[in-house]
Amino acid sequence: MVMKIAILPGDGIGQEILVQSLKVLKAIKLKFGHKFIISKGLIGAESIKTNGLPITQETINLCKDSDTILLGAVGDPLYDNDPKIKIRPEQGLLELRRILGLYCNLRPIKTYNKLLKVSPMKQSVIKNVNFVIFRELTSGIYFGKKGRSQDEAYDTCTYKKNRIKKIAMKAFETARQRNKKITLVDKANVLETSRLWRETVKEIAQKNQDIKVDYIFIDNACMQIILKPRQFDILLTDNMFGDILSDEASVITGSLGLLPSVSFGDHYSLYEPVHGSFPQAKGKNIANPLGSILSVSLMLENFGLKKESFLINRAVNESIKLGLTTQDLNTKKPCTTSEIGDFLFNYILNIKNDQVKSTQIIS
Phi-psi region of 14 (alpha: psi -120 to 50; beta: other; left: phi over 0): alpha
Say whether 142 is catalytic.
yes
| Residues 163, 103 contacting (CB under 8 angstroms) | yes
Say whether 243 is catalytic.
yes
Say whether 219 is catalytic.
yes
The total of other beta-carbon atoms located within 10 Å of residue 102's CB is: 22
Q: How many CA atoms lie within 13 A of 85 on its CB side?
A: 17
Say whether 271 is catalytic.
no
* Catalytic, out of 49, 219, 266, 357: 219
Query: Number of helices (H) and strands (E), helices first, in the chain?
Result: 13, 12
| Residues 315, 297 contacting (CB under 8 angstroms) | no
Phi-psi region of 94 (alpha: psi -120 to 50; beta: other; left: phi over 0): alpha
Vertex 33: Cα angle to 28 and 36 (nearest 5): 65
* Catalytic, out of 233, 243, 328, 347: 243
Question: 23 — phi, psi (to 5°)?
Answer: -60, -45
* Catalytic, out of 67, 155, 247, 342: 247
Which ranges constitute the DSSP H helices of the chain? 14-32, 45-51, 57-64, 77-80, 89-100, 123-126, 161-177, 192-206, 218-227, 239-253, 290-302, 306-321, 337-350
Active site residues: 142, 187, 219, 243, 247
